[in-house]
Chain A
Amino acid sequence: MGATGSKLEKALGDQFPEGERYFGLENFGNTCYCNSVLQALYFCVPFREQLLDYYSNNKSIGDAEENLLTCLADLFTQISSQKKKTGVIAPKRFVQRLKKQNEIFRSYMHQDAHEFLNFLLNELVDILEKEAHAIKSDAESSSPPEKISNGPKTGQANGAQKEPLVTWVHKNFQGLLTNETRCLRCETVTARDETFLDLSLDIEQNSSITSCLKNFSSTETLNAEDKFFCDKCCSLQEAQKRMKIKKPPHILVIHLKRFKYIEQLGRYKKLLYRVVFPLELKLSNTMEDADSEYSLFAVVVHVGSGPNHGHYVSLVKSHNHWLFFDDENVEMIDESVVQTFFGSAQEYSSNTDHGYILFYESIGTGNKS
């Protein structure tokens, strides 16, 4: 293991980024789903920085009740404060906590990396919200609000109670979708906004993220069994529905629905489709004129031909170098290798390494709010 570390160091040479650490994560028996996502999150720099920030500010408060947030922060701190530049770390506490918290992840079976990511982000949000509420009620009863050292930076006055809290997790990952439904009888358009922390996209053979996003936003007709209840007509009506991105997130997480339930088979199947994901992505939205521009910085890859077994690895871009994380092992790769994870153009292929969760960071011109 030490040898791989030094090999990576050698490969990077004097290009090794100042202050950066590249550590593999030990696998505790089928925990690659966790490791691959953790690496992607660690190299999501704004997320990492805010987590470390939060942690160093909150440690002083002292009420160190262990939860997934503190475990994750511990782990990231542990990595970032390593003396060595490369090596292996065992994310033991984090994995134990995860298994304690959620029985799904308790077994040694193959887990879904997207499910884990989803669970983790929502859990972090919950913890932060709970804390914020506790602080708020504290503050309201005793001290003036200025004394809150590291409360969530909501900026809003404490009056608006029902307003959902915007934590730093939200600020990184949350985007807004608008779901427009047009009644085909009265033409009334009902728009409902939904927040999201990631986008799950249906995929097709020999397609691209751009085309999948286009399909995602395409118009769907609600009819037959699936009619829409129109408030104006007061009855079920045929309608047209479409989803549009209203406010794009700062970190865009795209989950490709590679595991699909096939009715004829009565089970899930992995779709090996070739889906091209670009290094730079444009995303249009309904709020601004300009499209948001994103840059790919991490890919969680599923290795294997079926949904119930296999392996997860991740590709990460850090300081303009691409790195390959496979549990304990970390290697440097060429950018051109990224395209070997697009998928298979034909159904039967020896290539089973497929991009599964894509992480894009906004490089949007101007407003970084």
Chain B
Amino acid sequence: MKMMNNGYNSSFNSNSVGLMSNTGATTASSSSSTSTTNANSQSQGLKTYFKTPEGRYKLHYEKTHPPGFLPFSHGKSVSQVTLAQLKDKPAQAGPAPSSSSSASASSGVRYAAAKFLGVGGGNGVRAIGFAGGNGTGKAVNGTSRSGSLVGSNGSHSILNPNYDGKGTYLIFNVGDTIFIGDLNSPDKDPIKSLHFSNSNPICHAFDPEAKDGHDLLIGLNSGDVYSVSLRQQLQDVGKKLVGAQHYNKEGSVNNSRCTSVAWIPKSDGAFVVAHADGNLYVYEKSKDASVDTSFPVIKDQTQFSVAHARSSKSNPIARWHICQGSINNVAFSTDGVYLATVGRDGYLRVFDYSKDQLICGGKSYYGALLCCTWSLNPWHFVDFLLQVSGVAFDSYWSSPTSDDIEENVVYRFGSVGQDTQLLLWDLSMDEIVVPLRRCPPGGSPTFSTGSQSAHWDSITPLGTLQPAPCMRDVPKLSPVVAHRVHTEPLSGLLFTQESILTACREGHVKIWMRPSSESQSSNSEALVGGSSSLAGSRVGSSILK
């Protein structure tokens, strides 16, 4: 099972929707008197850096929707961010050159960080629609990136040949619009906006290994799903999707909200779409989406079931009924073997995807589960009991002490929450990790403090769902860093080789540069002391091995 692979240079796609942070317990309790004016003035004083043991992270760029874009109705829409790296444009019609770019900063689903929404949805209501603001559609010389722009002039017939080259783009939804910004440009405004007139975009995913150009998935509130070529969108000057393939047209297969979309790794263009009614559909992008598919009626909403399409011509090719209530997010393991889902019912479930089989899962401490994430090692995951809205592993961070020795792996991960803070955590597997223990028949789950047993019990019957752990049995972890990064509740977190990206629900993205090597030493005394005041921030973790 162990597939340690520290050599990965990929980031992941942490679409996230946020609700219910319990991390808010950080401020001192001034429980009686008037501390209100104080709290308000704090909201202005956001710092442009934060310190970590490895050095100072500096605010590098900010990205947001254009000023003319009116704020949509409060709280009704949540912005998510996807990072997409376009390689040099491949020779026409040829297979994608097996990229030697080791720093492919966005292997979408490489090891995904999945975000899970607590109070169901968050996007159930359509935000007020406004057309994208001034100038966003122009997309003129958006790429001011130095050096790296290798225009391989494959085709320049269309309007923006600039986008033939490499580039890393930030895709985020705000209200009825998807904005695309250039990660490496100082411009705050997006270079492109895509307007959806019928329904709001909710989730998106990018596949850097897409063979035929369609690499971007967009799921809407109406249930509709599109696949498009990101490059083609960038090259076009309009505000509409171009060259899109449309699935689940007008909700013909399922008319509940799309909550999460994900490409299946190593599947040659297959993807899954999760819906608010607890169903997940598998599509193949090569297949004609116009063939209708009907699936048998679900007899028991509480039971997991998989139904394959009767006709080989249909798309979707399968329906998975996962749970009652919304599936809030899904994530594939790096190798595409395992699929993790989280839902309104509070359960994290792990499936053997190719076998249509539920392997294991567990219930979160706090009601609806908000996030879980696959780590580098596809068979380790952390189940956050913390109700954060975004979580991601930092695959670029390496522990100063452990030299990749498997015995004591320390993972760095981050989380963002409704309290507007970014928290960074160092998770040492052998110390922190609690087993999801086997539940003896009829008995309650036991907890063992011994670290040697801190692994998934191999005799656990397949498909067993664990009850929620008791808070007392879960080790409390303090974050290494807690920093207030935005004024609005946060909804997204991504790590790239050079930076950390944070996003808030209203569609503001901040890019924090990692400490540079020279400043690193000077900062080695950085603050760790903050953690005691954060003892209230709890995280419980479970490991499967």
Contacts and interface: CB of A to CB of B under 8 A. Distances in A.
B365 A279 contact: no
Nearest to B467: A365
Contacts of A35: none
Nearest to B32: A202
B292 interface: no
* Chain A CB within 10 Å, residue with most, of B25, B346, B489: B25
Interface residues of A, number: 47
Contact of B75 (A261, A281, A342): A342
Interface stretch (B79-87, B93-101, B113-121, B186-194): B113-121
B255 to A, nearest CB: 13
A337 B368 CA distance: 16
Contact of B31 (A220, A284, A347): A220
A340 B472 contact: no
Question: Which one of A214, A345, A347 has the greatest number of beta carbons of chain B within 10 Å?
Answer: A345
A289 B489 CA distance: 33
Nearest to A201: B31
Interface in A213-234: 214-216, 218, 220
Contacts of B238: none
A204 B24 contact: yes
Contact of B419 (A207, A271, A335, A342): A207
Nearest to A365: B467
Interface stretch (A38-46, A50-58, A262-270): A262-270
A260 interface: yes
Interface in B132-161: none
Given A218-B29, A346-B43, A276 B366 contact: no
Contacts of B367: 278-282
B31 A215 contact: yes
Nearest to B19: A339
A208 interface: yes
A331 B73 CA distance: 20
Interface string B54-91: 00000000000000000001111000000000000000
B34 A264 contact: yes
B118 A278 contact: yes
B40 A211 contact: no
A52 to B, nearest CB: 30
A260 B34 CA distance: 8
A336 B20 contact: no
Interface in B515-540: 536
Contact of A282 (B29, B30, B366): B366
B470 interface: yes
Interface string A326-357: 00000000111111101011110111000000
B21 interface: yes
A62 to B, nearest CB: 47
Contact-residue bracket for chain B: 35 or more
A306 to B, nearest CB: 14
A344 B124 CA distance: 19
Contacts of B419: 206-208, 211
Interface string B97-114: 000000000000000000
A20 interface: no
Q: Which of A269, A280, A281, A289 has the most CB of B within 10 A?
A: A280
B81 to A, nearest CB: 18
Given A202-B32, A220-B31, A289-B470, A336 B121 contact: yes
B365 A208 contact: no
B387 interface: yes
Considering residues B22, B34, B420, which has the most beta carbons from chain A within 10 angstroms of its beta carbon? B22
B92 interface: no
A290 interface: yes
A207 B119 contact: no
Given A208-B20, A280-B366, A289-B470, A336 B488 contact: no
A268 to B, nearest CB: 11
Contact of B119 (A262, A289, A335): A335
B27 interface: yes
A274 interface: yes
Nearest to A218: B29
B69 to A, nearest CB: 16
Contacts of A291: 470-471
A334 to B, nearest CB: 4
Nearest to B125: A337
Contact of A350 (B22, B43, B74, B387): B74
- Which one of A206, A215, A274, A284 has the greatest number of beta carbons of chain B within 10 Å? A206
24 contacts: A202-B31, A205-B40, A206-B418, A207-B419, A208-B20, A208-B418, A210-B22, A210-B25, A211-B24, A215-B25, A264-B37, A278-B20, A278-B119, A279-B118, A282-B366, A289-B470, A290-B470, A335-B120, A335-B124, A336-B122, A342-B75, A344-B74, A345-B420, A349-B74
Given A278-B20, A334-B121, A340-B125, 17 more contacts: A202-B30, A205-B42, A206-B418, A206-B419, A208-B22, A208-B24, A208-B387, A216-B29, A260-B34, A279-B367, A336-B120, A338-B119, A339-B119, A340-B73, A342-B75, A344-B74, A346-B488
Query: Which 9 pairs between the two chains have the least Cβ-Cβ distance?
Result: A280-B367, A336-B121, A336-B124, A215-B29, A211-B24, A351-B74, A211-B25, A207-B24, A334-B124
